[in-house]
């Protein structure tokens, strides 16, 4: 029996998703280096992403390509053909997410890349999480709608003291202080974020701190965490929720906004872990419910994962639009890396392999029941 060559194997898999090598449709792959096939066979999606960064292949619509690859489960079907070198790489280079001595590593690696990049790519408020696209027309409106949705879900009122865990450049803190008269403590592990947050929130009832969540020990009327839980790490979930419980007043609400995986216990994506978000791991619904059991009542669970596809595509549109201003500081390989990051993630959300959860928790149940907000 003749075994397929790496090229034959990959071509046959792509055919299942109606993807052609050197085809003329937007989602077809144009190969510039024939070594691509051996590289992907040896290193899976890590090699595929690195090969794109190196210019070995191109595609007019990377998002649609990745959507088709994931929708047809090509990585799962190819698992038997992935070499032991990839498995060894993942097991020996993956570091568990969330350990305290690595808490500031994500800030240094990702969020300190440069405020110029994020100012131009994001909306006017610099919100680096999924927007809420119900009844809106653009990215600015989607992010305002999301921030307002969060405020309404926690029942925010003037004078309330709120903790934002991993609040970045202070987008939620600024919105909650301006629109609702709240007093907000915003913590981040990125010095670049805190410095800019202090500028953006000047004159408002906002305190921005360079601080790990484990070092917070005071009471708040409400707590939110928007897009930070992905960096906590599965083994630290119970500690995380213990700290939230410790800091939340008995009648307060906690809103958790996080990307979610459809499966528990998966190994983090090696390309994302190496180039974008080191030491990160996506939670599953089961892992979240296990961690909150005995600590919180789940009052509301809202999944609007498809909105992240729209958000990422809007970020990509801005990134492409402003790349001429950014190019001198970042270079061509960064451009390809960042483009692949945004578009491949959009494809993943489009394929519904990853979700976006907003979960509202109370410590002992809202008297008379929680009124869901959508």
Quick: pLDDT tens for 318-334. 999 999 999 999 999 99
Number of structural domains the chain divides into: 2
Dihedral (CA of 340, 337, 279, 259) sign: negative
Task: Identify the residue with better confidence: 213 or 90.
Answer: 213
CA distances from 247 to 199, 341, 356 (A): 27, 35, 25
Q: 173: closest CA among 118, 111, 117, 125?
A: 125
pLDDT tier for residue 4 given thresholds of 50, 70 and 90: confident
User: Based on the domain organization, do 144 and 78 belong to the same domain?
Assistant: no
pLDDT over 90 at 185, yes or no: yes
Under 8 Å CB-to-CB from 22, ≥6 apart: which residues? 28, 29, 30, 31
Instruction: Flag whether pLDDT at 305 surpasses 90.
Output: yes
Q: What phi, psi does 302 have (nearest 5°)?
A: -120, 120
Mention every residue, 6+ apart, whose C-beta is less than 8 A from residue 15.
none
Confidence (pLDDT) at 117? 95
CATH number for 308: 3.40.50.150
Q: What is the pLDDT of residue 31?
A: 98
Coil, helix or strand at residue 219: coil
Q: Are residues 140 and 49 in the same domain?
A: no
Among 93, 124, 143, which residue terminates a domain?
A: 93
Percent of the chain with pLDDT over 90: 84
Asked whether residue 356 is assigned to any structural domain, the reply reads: yes
pLDDT at position 1 = 46
- pLDDT at residue number 39: 95
Query: Residue 120 CB: number of other CB atoms within 10 A?
Result: 15
Q: Judge if 252 and 355 occupy the same domain.
A: yes
Q: Are residues 329 and 195 in the same domain?
A: yes
pLDDT category of residue 358 using cuts at 50, 70 and 90: very high
Span 5-18, pLDDT tens digits: 999 999 999 999 99
Q: 105-114, 141-150, 192-201, 286-295 — which is least confidently predicted?
A: 105-114
Model pLDDT for residues 55-93, shown as the tens digit of each residue: 999 999 999 999 999 999 988 776 544 433 333 333 334
Our answer to whether residue 247 is catalytic in this structure is: no
197 and 62 within one domain:
no
For residue 133, what are the CA distances in angstroms to 103, 137, 141? 32, 8, 8
- Selection from 361, 366, 371 nearest residue 297 by Cα: 361
Residue 2 pLDDT? 56
pLDDT, mean over the chain: 91
pLDDT in tens, 121-172: 999 999 999 999 999 999 999 999 999 999 999 999 999 999 999 999 999 9
Residue 118 has pLDDT above 60, yes or no: yes
Give the domain-ending residue among 40, 61, 93: 93
Whole-number pLDDT of residue 88: 35
> What average pLDDT does this structure show over 50-58?
98
| Cα(257)–Cα(157) distance, integer angstroms | 20
Q: Is 370 inside any structural domain?
A: no
Q: Are residues 109 and 130 part of one domain?
A: yes
Q: What pLDDT does 105 receive?
A: 54
In the block, tokens 């003749």 appear at: 2
Q: List the structure tokens of 296.
A: 């919180």
Indicate whether 223 and 352 sit together in one domain.
Answer: yes
pLDDT for the residue 135 = 96
Look at residue 96 in the predicted model and tell me its pLDDT.
54
Average pLDDT over residues 191-207: 96
| Residue 310 located in a structural domain | yes
Please give the pLDDT value at position 109: 43
pLDDT band at 3 (very low <50, low <70, confident <90, very high): low
Residues 108, 35 within the same domain: no
Same-domain status, 76 and 124: no
Do 73 and 111 lie in one domain? The reply is no
Among 59, 151, 201, 345, which one carries the catalytic annotation? 345
pLDDT for 77 equals 74
**In which order are the strands placed within the sheet that holds 183-188?**
206-210, 183-188, 161-165, 220-226, 248-261, 354-362, 297-303
* Distance from C-alpha of 151 to C-alpha of 31, rounded to nearest angstrom: 48
The pLDDT, as a whole number, for residue 83 is 37
Domain that holds residue 136: 100-362
What pLDDT score was predicted for residue 212? 96
């Amino acid at each position: 029996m003749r075994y397929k060559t790496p090229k034959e194997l990959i071509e046959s898999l792509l055919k299942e998703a109606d993807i052609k090598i050197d085809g003329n449709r937007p989602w077809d792959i144009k190969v510039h280096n024939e070594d691509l096939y051996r590289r992907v066979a040896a290193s899976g999606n890590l090699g595929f992403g690195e090969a794109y960064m190196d210019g070995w292949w191109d595609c007019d619509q990377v998002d649609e390509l990745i959507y088709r690859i994931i929708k047809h489960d090509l990585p799962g079907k190819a698992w038997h053909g992935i070499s032991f070198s990839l498995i060894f790489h993942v097991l020996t280079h993956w570091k568990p997410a969330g350990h305290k001595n690595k808490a500031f590593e994500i800030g240094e690696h990702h969020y300190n890349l440069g405020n110029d990049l994020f100012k131009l790519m994001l909306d006017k408020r610099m919100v680096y999480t999924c927007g809420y696209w119900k009844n809106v027309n653009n990215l600015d409106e989607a992010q305002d709608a999301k921030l307002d949705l969060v405020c309404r879900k926690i029942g925010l009122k003037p004078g309330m003291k709120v903790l934002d865990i991993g609040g970045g450049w202070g987008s939620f803190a600024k919105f909650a202080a301006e629109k609702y008269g709240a007093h907000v403590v915003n913590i981040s592990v990125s010095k670049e974020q805190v410095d800019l947050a202090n500028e953006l929130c000047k004159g408002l009832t906002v305190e921005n701190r360079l601080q790990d969540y484990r070092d917070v020990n005071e009471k708040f009327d409400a707590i939110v965490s928007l897009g930070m839980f992905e960096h906590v790490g599965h083994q630290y979930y119970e500690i995380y929720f213990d700290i939230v419980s410790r800091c939340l007043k008995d009648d307060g609400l906690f809103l958790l906004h996080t990307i979610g995986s459809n499966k528990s216990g998966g190994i983090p994506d090696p390309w994302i872990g190496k180039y974008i978000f080191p030491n990160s791991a996506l939670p599953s619904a089961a892992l979240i419910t296990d961690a909150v059991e005995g600590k919180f009542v789940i009052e509301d669970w809202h999944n609007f994962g498809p909105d992240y596809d729209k958000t990422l595509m809007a970020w990509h549109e801005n990134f492409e639009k402003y790349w001429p201003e950014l190019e001198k500081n970042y270079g061509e390989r960064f451009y390809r890396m960042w483009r692949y990051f945004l578009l491949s993630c959009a494809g993943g959300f489009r394929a519904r392999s990853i979700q976006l959860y907003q979960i509202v928790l109370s410590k002992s149940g809202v008297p008379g029941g929680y009124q869901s907000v959508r």
